[in-house]
Amino acid sequence: MRVTLIAVAIALLGAALGDEIPTEDNVLVLSKANFDNVVSTTDFILVEFYAPWCGHCKSLAPEYAKAATKLKEEESPIKLAKVDATQEQELAESYGVRGYPTLKFFKNGNPIDYSGGRQADDIVAWLKKKTGPPAIEITSVEQAKELIAANTVAVFGFFPDQATEKAKAFLAVAGLVDDQVFAIVSDEKIIDELEAQPEDVVLFKNFEEPRVKYEAESFNEDLFKTWVFVQSMPVIVEFSHETASKIFGGQIKYHLLLFLSKKNGDFEKYMEELKPVAKNYRDRIMAVAIDTDEDDHQRILEFFGMKKDEVPSARLIALEQDMAKYKPTSSELNANTIEEFVQSFFAGTLKQHLLSEELPEDWAAKPVKVLVATNFDEVVFDNTKTVLVEFYAPWCGHCKQLAPIYDKLGEHFEKDEDVIIAKMDATANELEHTKITSFPTIKLYTKDNQVREYNGERTLAGLTKFVETNGEGAEPVPSVSEHDEDDEAPARDEL
Given 39, 57, 78, 314, the catalytic residue = 57
Q: How many helices (H) and strands (E) does the chain have?
A: 16, 23
Give the whole-angstrom CA distance, residue 387 versus residue 231. Answer: 52
Give the whole-angstrom CA distance, residue 330 versus residue 313. Answer: 9
Residue pair 347/355 in contact (Cβ under 8 Å)? The answer is no
Give the whole-angstrom CA distance, residue 358 versus residue 371. Answer: 10
Dihedral, 370, 424, 376, 368 alpha carbons, nearest 10: 30
* Chain mean position to CA 319: 11
Q: Which amino acid is at 134?
A: P
User: What is the DSSP-derived secondary structure letter of residue 239?
Assistant: P
Residue 39 annotated among the catalytic residues of the structure: no
Given 399, 409, 424, 426, the catalytic residue = 399
* Chain mean position to CA 444: 34
The DSSP secondary structure of 356-384, one letter per residue, reads -PPPPTTTTSSSEEEE-HHHHHHHHT-TT
Given 38, 39, 46, 54, the catalytic residue = 54
Give the whole-angstrom CA distance, residue 30 versus residue 298. Answer: 36
Given 396, 421, 422, 444, the catalytic residue = 396
Residue 361 annotated among the catalytic residues of the structure: no
Residue pair 233/246 in contact (Cβ under 8 Å)? The answer is yes
CA-based nearest residue to 310, from 318, 295, 300, 296: 300
Residue pair 228/155 in contact (Cβ under 8 Å)? The answer is yes
Residue 396 annotated among the catalytic residues of the structure: yes
Residue pair 470/386 in contact (Cβ under 8 Å)? The answer is yes
Dihedral, 464, 468, 472, 474 alpha carbons, nearest 10: -20
The DSSP secondary structure of 131-167, one letter per residue, reads HS-SSEEE-SHHHHHHHHHH-SEEEEEE-S-TTSHHH
Residue 139 annotated among the catalytic residues of the structure: no
Give, in degrees to the nearest 5, the angle at Cα 289 between 287 and 290.
140
**Any idea which residues carry the catalytic annotation?**
54, 57, 396, 399
